[in-house]
A = this chain, B = another copy of it.
Amino acid sequence: MKQKSPVVAPFNLQAIERPLVSVDVVIFTVLEGALHVLLVKRPDDPREPCPGMWALPGGFVDVEKDADLESCALRKLQQKTGVKTPYLEQVGSWGGSKRDPRAWSATHVYFALIPAPESLLQGSNDATWFPVEGQRVRVKLAFDHAMLLEAAVQRLRNKVEYTSLPAYLLPQEFTLSDLQRMYEVVLERPIEKSAFRTRVFAAGLVEEVDKVRAGPNRPAQLYRLAHPREIVYFPRTFSPRKSAED
């Protein structure tokens, strides 16, 4: 049982019914040239809702452990992946009486970008990478997680059009071709090489690393982010000219 603080706040707090509050994290990475998302299997216990189904990693906020929503998301992400410094961004919140059979609940959805992990699974092995096909995954998801995932994918695709986000899908050092490939994988369309390079340099996104990669073909120049902490906004999108007319 929880020990009540001896000093009760002098506030008059009406005892209204409180919703459940949770955080779900949509963790993206690129594996084998395709966008993947990490899902966990819910316990088979029939006293739990959606037993045995695949779901986004997440769960209830812990008012003891979690100082705020973002650190709650970070905690859950670290539990599943071991990654400590992902790109993490809030997608939105969904709350209502219908989404969890147990009670009125509100969930806070974050999406994260991490480089392709060497060991696919970490710790609890109920977690698996699923390819994102269109806006979805092949399996049926628990609760309204299919909708949450869709929103996260949409946000990601949209934001990739005009930001440096895909850099966080790569290790610290990468070639411009690597980076371009990340854009193409997420956006599911080719990008013009020349315009891509011009814009990346014009934005001051990267700085050179002076060693040279060994590889199957010509050694390519390695780069790293010039300002790893800030994401860069491009003045325009990567849209080809045609799509402006459609």
Contact indicator B9/A63 (Cβ below 8 Å): no
A1-35 vs B, CB cutoff 8 Å, 1 = contact: the mask equals: 01000000111110011111100000000000000
Kindly report how many copies of this chain are found in the complex they form together: 2
Q: A94 and B106: CB pair below 8 A?
A: no
What CA separation (Å) do A17 and B94 show in the bound complex? Answer: 20
Q: Does A189 contact B (CB under 8 A)?
A: no
Determine the chain B residues whose CB is within 8 A of the CB of A102 once the complex forms: 9, 11, 13
- The distance from the CB of A21 to the nearest CB of chain B, in whole angstroms, is 5
Complex CA gap A2/B67 in Å reads: 31
Query: Is A62 on the interface with B (CB-CB < 8 A)?
Result: yes
Residues of B within 8 A of A195 (CB): none
- With a cutoff of 8 Å between Cβ atoms, the chain B residues found around residue A18 in the complex are 18-21
Check A12–B48 contact: CB distance below 8 A.
yes
How far apart sit A90 and B239, CA to CA, in the bound complex (Å)? 26
- Residue A211 at the B interface, CB < 8 A? no
- A49 close to B11 (CB less than 8 A): yes
Q: How far is the CA of A66 from the CA of B19 in the complex (A)?
A: 11
**Across-interface contacts of A66 in B (CB, < 8 A):** 97
Looking across the interface, which residue of chain B has its beta carbon closest to that of A71? B96
Q: Is A123 close to B, CB under 8 A?
A: no
Q: Give me 16 other A-B pairs in contact (C-beta within 8 A), A19-B21, A63-B103, A68-B96 excluded.
A: A11-B49, A11-B101, A12-B45, A13-B102, A16-B60, A16-B62, A18-B20, A18-B21, A19-B61, A19-B63, A66-B97, A67-B98, A68-B95, A90-B93, A106-B106, A106-B108
